[in-house]
Amino acid sequence: MFMKVKNICCIGAGYVGGPTMTVIADKCPHIKVNVVDINQNRIDLWNSKDLNFLPIFEPGLDQIVKRCRGKNLFFSTEIEKHIALADMVFISVNTPTKKKGIGAGQASDLKWVEICARQVSKYAVGHTIVIEKSTLPVRTAEVIKTILESQDIQNKKQKTFDVLSNPEFLAEGTAVNDLISPDRVLIGGESDSAIKSLKDIYQNWVPENKILQTNIWSSELAKLTANAFLAQRISSINSIGALCESTGADVREVARAIGTDTRIGSKFLDSGPGFGGSCFKKDILNLVYLSNYFGLPEVANFWEGVVRFNKWHQHRISKLVVKKLFGTVSEKKVAILGFSFKANTNDTRESAAIQICRDLLAEGAELLIHDPKVIEKQIELDLGEQAINNHKNINESDSKVIKSGWEKCDKIDQCFKNVDAALILTEWKEYSEINWELASKSMRHPAWVFDARSIVNPEDVRNANLNLWRVGDGS
């Protein structure tokens, strides 16, 4: 039977749960939305009076939170209470790659998903629609459903559940716009009434022809496939960029030429330092694991090659910096412009900057790091002991260098004093507006600008008596 949803609970107040529930609350003022999380500090930040302190930076998000918070949007740690009140529960928790055990390094760790399923089974009242919102491996819904049903038998309570898959297709930096004007909303499931209940929510602002219905397995696999295809496209253009540098071609001209082909299109054809973010690498490795599990090693090898190339490309950039600086960066200063994995987000997960900075620090460089949204503590976490322990090639002596070999710059112009090079790793707008003539006066010559994002004006850099390298430029 179709259920008109009046109360939603979302477990997980991270990069997916927070923005998604904020937009749902904004577009559905008749629905009460409770976002719950075990992390008290994160919840406190969501409830902060100063909207500059929200735990997630996304353009436009702060204003929607301001409109809805305290009206029909609430953030708390009261998980049990809000599960019991909810007609619909979204599971939007982290699914990191397993670090040990079967499938380590490839398979997703579903620990938090399982914990959520058990919480929902225990505390739900009446009929509850459970929505997979996290990026999950194929057939996870079956696991969730099994847990819900088995717990119900044990508790002997009158509870019923429907499980749907509703993967997110958000790009960080444009997440709010992606939610307000999505290319598609995908709903996978077997229950027509449950699908109709979720569809009824989205139809408050999404045209019906953009709401796609599939079986639950296709929905789960579609999310992994979408991220894998996008990552593969980035690796593909970066491979051509490396070839351009060796042949005298320009990857921007190649991209423009092939992008006019309607079969290919122009999106995701910008050569850069490699893909990052929380999903691309994780989801591809998940595909690799699933392919091997189902006896398809050739499929696994194909997708694993995308990840291998991305890592090679990041090392290639750091090696190139060393080569251009006369073969050594020991005790040389390098300005790192951008630490988040892309512009308009403070997310550093799998950022190319982390690997490139590690390489340069291991070579003895001193780094001056600037990013308008990433705080110093986050950089310290990414480059500190935790990062070192995950980086097998760094020895104990290198670790000491990494702990003391960098500092955070709050202002861009602070980064250029006595540096031998500036390396642009994130496409923040302010980096395209740098006065290179002024910056050049502070740098130690001969000095370099390494533009891994193709955002500077080459003529401005060269006129400032600076050497220039641009990714994919063979000229």
**Residues with catalytic annotation?**
279
Tokens of 76: 């708390």
**Which amino acid makes up residue 159?**
K
The greatest distance separating any two alpha carbons of the chain, rounded to the nearest whole angstrom, comes to 78
Angle at 309 between CA 307 and CA 313, to 5 degrees: 120
**Which amino acid makes up residue 161?**
F
Q: 439-445: long-range contacts at Cβ-Cβ below 8 A with a sequence spacing of 24 or more?
A: 439/413, 439/464, 440/464, 440/465, 440/466, 442/413, 442/416, 442/417, 442/418, 443/416, 443/418, 443/419, 444/333, 444/418, 444/419, 444/420
Is 363:330 a contact under the CB 8 Å cutoff?
yes
**Strand 406-408 to 88-91 pairing:** unpaired
The residues that bridge with 160 in the sheet, in sequence order, are 127
DSSP-derived secondary structure for 426-471: S--HHHHT--HHHHHHHSPSS-EEEESS--S-HHHHHHTT-EEEET
Tokens of 465: 């008596």
Among residues 408, 418, 407, which one has the least CA distance to residue 440? 418
- State whether residue 297 is helix, strand or coil: helix
Q: How far apart are alpha carbons 23 and 287 in whole angstroms? A: 30
CA distances from 104 to 97, 99, 107, 285, 373 (A): 7, 5, 6, 10, 32
DSSP state of 72: T
The residues that bridge with 61 in the sheet, in sequence order, are none
Q: How far apart are alpha carbons 197 and 321 in whole angstroms? A: 55
Q: How far apart are alpha carbons 225 and 93 in whole angstroms? A: 20
Taking each helix axis from N to C terminus, what angle separates 140-155 and 216-247, rounded to the nearest 10 degrees?
150
**In the block, which residue shows the tokens 């629905």?**
31
Tokens of 330: 């020991």
410 φ/ψ angles, rounded to the nearest 5 degrees: -80, -25
